[in-house]
Structure 1
Amino acid sequence: MKNQNSSDEIDLGQLFQLIGKGFDSLFKFILRVFVYLKRNIFILIGLAAIGFAVGYGLNQIVTKRQKTDVIVKPQLESKNYLYDVIDEIQANIDAKDSSFFESIGIEEVDFAGLEITVNRVIEEGTSDRDMQYLELLQSFENTDAIADIVRAELENKSSFNHRITFYYKNKELGIQFAKKVMEYINSSTYFDEVLMISRNNARGRIEQNELLLDQVDKIITNYTNNLASRNNAVSSERIILDNQEQVNIADLFEYKNLLIRDIEIKKLELAEQTEPISIINFGKSHEVQKSFFGKNLVLIPSILIVVFLFVSFLVYLNQKSKTLIL
């Protein structure tokens, strides 16, 4: 037992010695860093000052990029067309194909810093998985595969808008470029024809629904008048038409509401479906905001200081390697 207790005391003593050595090594490391910074403080301050000066000069010389954001909504399954035509335009920008842009009405193009991108606008609080699910449901929006409540949820809360971003350095030419490109995107003859047919169908649907709505109103009015002329309590909630089956009055009111709602939806379609890619908002030109470490005033001093520290570390390793060899 005495031997076991003495062994435990020795083990604990060694443990405390290791902990003490660890703290001592840490303290020495911090002290060495402090001494290193103290010796080179003027060099570091000088590098930072030089970096700030160079960064400021570059900011004055280099032309900053501008951008314009255009929020759009594809109509009639034209989303794939939108992405394809944007890729086509970007490919011609990369190739600096002036003849292509002349063919779409852009006589002068400044390719310096010119870029066009497109991405989906995701609402706050909506994950990518939710958006994929909503897009899947949207493919059935013109069928009876989903309930009216789900369709309403898609129309009201799920945004399938897209953001087209134009980057450029020449503000005047960039704005003109963005307008001409949007005109080119909406110049598809195929979608123009499809839109015309869709709008004609919507107008015809509205006319037919209005005729049916007028007939339903007449039936309900005649039923009400007959009730008032008889001056007695309602014995049945059904209307017996001439040589027809009985019709539930509640079903008539529900049918009327459905007709009204369908008319409203078709009128919204006529208002929205004016172009293959509806422009919701054509933003103003503004400067591209870089991240904090992407700005020259911060980036260049940081690079100079990091390079100096790296060189100092290599010198230190070289000195240590010589002592080890000796």
Structure 2
Amino acid sequence: MSKESPQPQSEEVDLGQLFKLIGNAFDRFFKFIGSIFIGIYNVVLLLLVHIYKRLVWYAAAIILGGGIGFIIDMNSEKLYGANLFIQTNFNSTRQVYENIKQFHQLAHIDKDTSELAKRLKISGVEASNLKGFYIEPDLDENNMAEMYSAFYNRLDSLSRLEMTYDRFKESLTTYSFPIHRIGVASTDRNLYKKIEESFVDQLCDNDYLEDILKSNSEILEKKDYSLLQQVQKTDSLAKEYLKIRINESQKEQIPGSGTNLYMGDAESAGGSLIVDESKIIQQRLSYENRRREIDSTKAIQKNIINVLANFPKSGYDIREWTDKKKFVLPIVFVVLALLVFSFIGLGDFLKKQSKL
């Protein structure tokens, strides 16, 4: 008789060894994690013990740093800021960004107060208070979604398969948005209203854009005049119809008949085209709606740049806590004290080791 194979027992042994190895791996992993937390705890404990033993020194460093920082802050100039929100027309965004970069160069890097004073129509002393000009698009997720929807509808069926919302967002640049926030930094909080008018004029100083603005205004005026003439014609037609209706109402009414107005060659066509007063009124309303749309467009495109929000009457403090010495110096003094005591402790440790 042939002997039975011990294969099932061998498989159980292999599985047991596998689970044992997995258990050992998890055990070592958790011990490693635990050793990290124990190490962090020991370091924090040693640091607390060190600070407790030299608490007077660290308290003195904090008080001294805070006092010196407070005095420095009292005697230093405060930095104020204010924002101007604009809407660009006629693809003028690039021109605006270039002008802002130039203003920032003059104020922050070159410190050319005479050129700033000339462009903004202020004195040289006031121009010296300007410290920087900044611009960024005013991002809104809803506006980006609307832009994506309009762009997606213009694509063909193949392009729509590839163009996702995330890919569309990645393709956007700072010039893709119509609304932008312009920030100005100054040490004079009351300077913003003085520079606002001249500053906005300087942002759109471009002959090409001026020509586009003029041409667009003329086109809108012609469209509005044409629609106005159409409104006047429909008014005249409505008046004539009203006269006919009054005359018809004074005649003896025939059962089943109504008051109809035949326009153009409608009668010669066998009376198949009949226009009543409601169609005339609807046409007039359509012209009026189009005129209102033109009025809205004229208001939006009246200037190359629309100011959506002006500078406030005075600026506000834009300094971060890192710019205030009364917060920074205590931290610096404490770190210096820690380094000094660390070097002293390291020196003592090396002396002890050299004696062994």
Using the size of structure 1 for normalisation, the TM-score is 0.68
Structure 1 stretch 194-203 or stretch 109-118: which is displaced more?
109-118
Deviations 1:275-323 (A, max 9, x none): 3222222222222333344433222212222233344444445555666
> How has the CA–CA distance of structure 1 residues 56 and 24 changed in structure 2, closer, same or farther, with 3 Å as cutoff?
closer
* Cα distance in 1 for residues equivalent to 2:55 and 2:197: 54
Deviations 1:147-185 (A, max 9, x none): xxxxxxxxxxx9832222221113455653444322333
Give, in angstroms, the shift of residue 82 of structure 1.
1.0
Give, in angstroms, the shift of residue 57 of structure 1.
0.9
Equivalent position amino acid for 1:309 in 2: L
Structure 2: tracts of 5 or more residues without a match: 1-15, 155-175
> How has the CA–CA distance of structure 1 residues 54 and 192 changed in structure 2, closer, same or farther, with 3 Å as cutoff?
same
Kept in 2: contact 1:74–1:277 (CA 8 A): yes
* Cα distance in 1 for residues equivalent to 2:86 and 2:147: 19
Equivalences for residues 174-253 of structure 1 within 5 A? 175-216=193-234, 222=241, 232=256, 241-242=264-265, 246=273
Q: CA RMSD in A?
A: 4.6
Give the counterpart of 1:281 among 309, 321, 327: 309
Kept in 1: contact 2:132–2:186 (CA 8 A): yes
Give, in angstroms, the shift of residue 205 of structure 1.
0.9
2:182 matches 1:164:
yes
Deviations 1:81-132 (A, max 9, x none): 1111112222233223355345534441543552111222223x448x6487
Q: What is the match of residue 72 of structure 2?
A: 58
Secondary structure of residue in 2 paired with 1:164: strand
Using the size of structure 2 for normalisation, the TM-score is 0.63
Structure 1: tracts of 5 or more residues without a match: 140-157
Q: What is the match of residue 170 of structure 2?
A: none
Secondary structure of residue in 2 paired with 1:114: strand
Equivalent position amino acid for 1:202 in 2: L
Secondary structure of residue in 1 paired with 2:58: helix
Q: What is the match of residue 159 of structure 2?
A: none
Equivalences for residues 71-86 of structure 1 within 5 A? 71-86=85-100
> How has the CA–CA distance of structure 1 residues 116 and 29 changed in structure 2, closer, same or farther, with 3 Å as cutoff?
closer
Give, in angstroms, the shift of residue 62 of structure 1.
0.5
2:57 matches 1:43:
yes
Q: What is the match of residue 153 of structure 1?
A: none
* Cα distance in 2 for residues equivalent to 1:231 and 1:46: 109
Equivalent position amino acid for 1:76 in 2: F
User: Which protein is bigger by CA-based radius of gyration?
Assistant: 2
Structure 1 stretch 172-181 or stretch 266-275: which is displaced more?
172-181
Give the counterpart of 1:108 among 124, 132, 137: 124
Q: What is the match of residue 138 of structure 2?
A: 121
Equivalenced residues, count: 296
> How has the CA–CA distance of structure 1 residues 28 and 119 changed in structure 2, closer, same or farther, with 3 Å as cutoff?
closer
Q: What is the match of residue 290 of structure 2?
A: 262
> How has the CA–CA distance of structure 1 residues 64 and 25 changed in structure 2, closer, same or farther, with 3 Å as cutoff?
closer
2:52 matches 1:34:
no
* Cα distance in 2 for residues equivalent to 1:258 and 1:191: 32
* Cα distance in 2 for residues equivalent to 1:160 and 1:233: 58
Kept in 1: contact 2:193–2:311 (CA 8 A): no
Give, in angstroms, the shift of residue 212 of structure 1.
2.5
